[in-house]
Chain A
Amino acid sequence: MKDQMILRVGMKMMIPFILVYGLYVIFHGDLSPGGGFQGGVVIAAAFILYAMIYGRDEMHKVLPRGLSDALVAIGVLIFAGTGTYGLLAGYRFLDYTPLKPSEPGGAEAWGMSLVEYGVGFTVSMVMVTAYNEITEPAPDERKTS
């Protein structure tokens, strides 16, 4: 794949736009169709495309395995942490009111966005991990790519 000039140059120009589109879908989940799940998969598609064109070692330089494993867990922690913060502040679990006590409507928007970011992290990193693990070459077929 490294020798295909059209693929390399074309994808090098497209991958930033795919990443920005994925972030747009996550951030605008409240206002238009989208949300954490869809945006997470689009971001994962950008990373998978990079790994397919330039090789897995290049992608491990950009997104090391430790970082993707940690982000999988951090996404779930953001979600559960927002809920627990509501519990510790004296309201119900997953009540978003203590994020902005003066204005309950605004607190709802804050809480929903925060939780969507957590979901986006987890979904995108799980898809990238799944791709990494499934396409790992077996020890006897390790090739130089």
Chain B
Amino acid sequence: MDIAGHYNFWVAIAIMMIGLYPVIAKPNLVKKVIGLGIFQTGLFLFYISMGKIDGGTAPVHFPPAARHPQNYTNPIPTALILTGIVVAVATMAVALALVVNIKRAYGTIEMDEVEEIDHRDDQR
């Protein structure tokens, strides 16, 4: 139970769970999208915590101040998460477009009311 060595990972998992709960539990679609955004950011925090090095510096190199290679923050998780963030906002934009279309089609964005309207239309 190495708290000082693992606390960042535990906080990242807590943030992920804070984001996961509204995706399952809340019927409002925009609240689900917000929860998904929080989940994604918690996941990125988990991933980037693996690349941090004690006493390191940012992964940009100016020649007079060269350091040992293991004194720079690991650039590979950073590179992977960077494109992940922009893709995450692109998918959030598509999700919001779908929410706007559901509102136009059903008149509401609460999932229980949408299911009720569907159920009524199926029974007709």
Contact = CB atoms under 8 A, between A and B. Distances in A.
Asked if chains A and B come from one complex, the reply is yes
B76 interface: no
A134 B104 CA distance: 13
A123 interface: yes
Interface stretch (B18-26, B32-40, B93-101): B93-101
A44 to B, nearest CB: 11
A84 B5 CA distance: 46
Interface size range on A against B: 10 to 19
A4 to B, nearest CB: 27
A130 B93 contact: yes
B83 A133 contact: no
Contacts of B82: 35, 37
A138 B58 contact: no
Give the dominant DSSP class at B's interface.
Answer: helix
Contacts of A37: 82-83, 85-86
A18 B120 CA distance: 52
Interface string B62-105: 00000000000000000000110110001001001100100010
Given A41-B86, A126-B90, A138-B104, A33 B97 contact: no
Nearest to B82: A37
A133 B96 CA distance: 11
6 contacts: A32-B60, A35-B82, A41-B86, A123-B86, A130-B90, A138-B104
The 9 closest A-B pairs by CB, nearest first: A130-B93, A37-B86, A134-B96, A123-B86, A37-B82, A33-B60, A32-B60, A126-B90, A133-B97
Interface of B: 58, 60, 82-83, 85-86, 90, 93, 96-97, 100, 104
